[in-house]
Amino acid sequence: MSGIDEFRAEVRRWLEANCPASMRTPITNEEMVWGGSRVSFQNEDQRIWFERMRDRGWFAPDWPSACGGGGLGPREQRVLEQEMLALGCRLPQYNLGIWMLGPVLLEFGTAAQKSEHLPRMARGEVRWCQGFSEPNAGSDLASLRTAAVRDGDDFVVSGQKTWTSDGDKADWMYALVRTDPQAKKQQGISFIMVDMKSPGVTVRPIELISGTSGFCEVFFDGVRVPAKNVVGDINQGWGVAKRLLEHERAAMSKFTEGGAPSLDALVVAAPYLAGGGPVWRDRMAAALMDQHAFSLTARRLQEMALAREDVAGPGSIMKLVQSEQESAKYELLQQLMGHRGLSMEGEGFTADERAVCRLWLYTKSYTIAGGASEIQLNLIARRVLGLPA
């Protein structure tokens, strides 16, 4: 047996011995454990699985052991992922710090930043949120105005961030702030880490049309942040953020692997399709074929990446297609359900009917967040097709 085969066998043995049976079923949104100072568990199995994976260093399996990671190489990390998938193991925790900020700190961080933040992150003790968007800086992110003014060893931060996912539950935020108001757009921006307990930070949840409030507004009123918390060079934060967003796709795929909040369209539709006639049948088939085409494209991309082919072109379509398809799917299901698809919480509606109504509203954000569809189309037109600006 080669080294990697031995490793695979060892990983499988360990997972089988240590992953509780109830942690090997598909996960729902409500069952996700989010690491952080206020981590909470719904049952003992969640806690056991969290602690065992943490102590093995497998919250961040590919980080160096010195930073609290598992010290695995890329092939070994892949084996661990494959074995977890094969056994149906849930992710023990969800953690944007590890998935998005961590790799950036490993690349750009100072020794002090690494030793302060990475080990705690790797133990799931800190929950991070992202402070990029502002009320007047959405698609045009580089026009952000939250100001950070140098004062001795600190920066004094004033301004407002918005669309901060779970900002009310986070311990720390990584944010983009303007450190040079004179410089041109992208050039005067720095990437800074802010303790959410700092005086002057106020967080307010945003209520959405779907009745949920996963996003927050975050206000900074003269918040003092040590200058040593700037990642990368001052005024060079835009490049750091771009690198961080490259990790976003990998991070988002963890959610789909864990079972995104998505309904099986055909199962849900079946009772409403019966007797619905050829037009509904045609629309349903078209929607399923769209999904099929998307999943085949995901497979093709994976194969291309393994074969070291350039995936920039086809890769550029994925966010656009997935978000539009998910949104269109709930539009179709809701219409198929007729008036029964019009209640989020009413009595006398089935769980599916209420879920479809809620998800119809919820998925409206998919084509807006993380680069609106129009921005995606701009990128394809300019970068892939080479059309002039």
Partner 1 sequence: MTLLLDDEQRMLRDSAQQFLATRSPVSALRALRDRGDERGYDPEIWREMADLGWPAAVLPAEFGGLGVGYKGLGAVFEQVGRTLAATPLLSTVVLAGGLLAEAGSASQRDLWLPKIGAGEALLALAIDEAPRHDPTQVTLRAWREAGHWRLDGQKEFVLDGHVADRLIVVARSADAPGHRNGLSLFLVDPAAAGVQIERTWLVDSRHAARVRLARVQLDDAALIGAPDLAFDALDCVLDRARACVAAELLGVITEAFGRTVSYLKERVQFDVPIGSFQALQHRAARLYVEIELLRSCLAAALEAADAGADGAAALASLAKARASDLGERTLNEAVQMHGGVGVTDVLDIGLFLKRARVLQQAFGDGTFHRDRYASLRGF
From 66, 86, 183, 285, residue interacting with partner 1 (rule: CB under 8 A): 285
The residue count of the chain comes to: 389
Residue with smaller CB distance to partner 1, 66 or 270: 270
Q: Does 267 engage in binding with partner 1 (CB under 8 A)? A: no
What amino acid occupies position 358? R
Q: Which residues are catalytic?
A: 248
Q: Which of 137, 192, 201, 284 binds partner 1 (CB under 8 A)?
A: 284
Q: Which is nearer to partner 1, 14 or 366 (CB)?
A: 366
Count CB atoms within 10 A of the CB of residue 322: 20
Read off the amino acid at residue 151.
D
For 378, the token pair is 């701009």
Interface with partner 1: number of residues (CB under 8 A): 41
Footprint of partner 1 on 171-190 (CB under 8 A):
none
- Choose, by CB under 8 A, the member of 314, 328, 331, 354 that binds partner 1: 314
Question: Would you state the structure tokens that stand for residue 208, as one six-digit string?
Answer: 């959405």
Residue 377 engages partner 1 in binding (rule: CB under 8 A): yes
Measured between alpha carbons, how far is 186 from 169 in angstroms, rounded to an integer? Answer: 29
Contacts of 42 (CB under 8 A, 6+ apart): 31
Options 8-16, 208-216, 240-248, 291-299: segment touching partner 1 (CB under 8 A): 291-299
- Output the six-digit token pair for 304: 């291309």
Sign, Cα dihedral of 72, 76, 80, 85 = positive
Which stretch in 73-81, 119-127, 206-214, 369-377 sits in contact with partner 1 by CB under 8 A? 369-377
CB of 226 to partner 1, least distance (A): 43
305 binds partner 1 (CB under 8 A): no
List 4, 66, 85, 286, residue binding partner 1 (CB under 8 A): 286
234 binds partner 1 (CB under 8 A): no
Assess 312 for contact with partner 1 (CB under 8 A).
no
DSSP 4-41: HHHHHHHHHHHHHHHS-GGGGSPPPGGG--B-STT---
CB 322 within 8 A of CB 294: yes
Instruction: Decide if residue 335 touches partner 1 (CB under 8 A).
Output: no
- Interface with partner 1 (CB under 8 A), residue from 13, 242, 249, 299: 299
Burial class for 243, CB neighbours closer than 10 Å (0-12, 13-18, 19+): middle
Q: Which CB atom, from 230 or from 287, has the smaller least distance to partner 1?
A: 287
Closest CA to 224 of 246, 252, 263, 198: 198
Helix axes 265-273 and 278-306, enclosed angle (nearest 10): 170
> Which window, 165-173, 227-235, 316-324, 332-340, contacts partner 1 (CB under 8 A)?
316-324
> Which of 261, 262, 155, 173 is CA-nearest to residue 216?
173
CA 96 to CA 128: how far, in whole Å?
A: 6
Give CA 43 to chain center in angstroms: 24
> Shortest gap between Cβ of 273 and partner 1 (angstroms)?
6
Which of 320, 332, 356, 357 forms a contact with partner 1 (CB under 8 A)? Answer: 320
State yes or no: residue 337 binds partner 1 (CB under 8 A).
no
Query: Considering the rule CB under 8 A, would residue 317 count as an interface residue with partner 1?
Result: yes
CB of 318 to partner 1, least distance (A): 9
Q: Which residues bind partner 1 (CB under 8 A)?
A: 266, 270, 273, 278, 281-282, 284-286, 288-290, 292-294, 296-297, 299-300, 303-304, 307, 309, 313-314, 317, 320-321, 374, 376-378, 380-382, 384-389
